[in-house]
Homo-oligomer: A and B are copies of this chain.
Amino acid sequence: MMSAPPDFGKVARALDSGCAHTCARLITSIERRDSDIIPLLKLLYRSGRGNRIIGITGPPGAGKSSLVNQLIGHLRHLGKSVAVLAIDPSSPFSGGAVLGDRLRMMQHSTDPGVFIRSMASRGQLGGLTRAAGDTLTVLDVMPWDFVIVETVGVGQNELDIMQLADVVILVLTPMSGDDVQAAKAGINEIGDIYVVNKCDHSDADRTVSYLQDMIALARHLYPDKIWIPPVLKVQSLSGAGIDELTGHISRFFSTMSPDTAEMRQRHRRRIAYQTKEILRDILNRRFLTSSDQHIESGIASIMRRKLDPYSLATELLAAQK
Interface residues of A (CB under 8 A from B): 2, 38, 41-43, 45-48, 58-60, 89-97, 99, 121-126, 133, 153-157, 159-160, 176, 178-179, 181-183, 185-187, 190, 264, 267-268, 271-272, 274-276, 278-280, 282-284, 287-288, 291-292, 295-296, 298-299, 302-303, 305-314, 316-317
Known contacts A59-B91, A280-B288, A282-B314, then 12 further A-B pairs from the complex at CB < 8 Å, ordered by chain A residue: A2-B311, A41-B310, A89-B156, A90-B156, A90-B186, A91-B156, A92-B187, A95-B179, A121-B156, A125-B155, A268-B299, A275-B312
**Nearest-CB distance from A225 to chain B (Å)?**
20
**For A123, what are the chain B residues with a Cβ–Cβ distance below 8 Å?**
156, 160
Q: Which of B155, B264, B307 contacts A89 (CB 8 A)?
A: B155
**For A282, what are the chain B residues with a Cβ–Cβ distance below 8 Å?**
313-314, 317
**For A279, what are the chain B residues with a Cβ–Cβ distance below 8 Å?**
287-288, 291, 313, 316-317
Beta-carbon contact of A155 and B155 below 8 Å: yes
A278, A307, A314: residue with the most chain B Cβ atoms closer than 10 Å: A278
Beta-carbon contact of B303 and A95 below 8 Å: no
Q: Which of B47, B99, B176, B278 contacts A313 (CB 8 A)?
A: B278
Beta-carbon contact of B303 and A276 below 8 Å: no
CA distance A182 to B97 in the complex (A): 9
16 residue pairs from A and B, CB less than 8 Å apart? A2-B311, A46-B306, A92-B159, A92-B185, A96-B181, A96-B182, A121-B156, A155-B155, A264-B303, A274-B309, A275-B298, A275-B302, A278-B310, A279-B291, A279-B316, A282-B313
CA distance A288 to B279 in the complex (A): 8
Task: Please report whether the interface of chain A is mostly helix, strand, loop or mixed according to DSSP.
Answer: helix
Closest 5 CB pairs of A and B: A92-B186, A96-B182, A95-B182, A45-B308, A59-B93
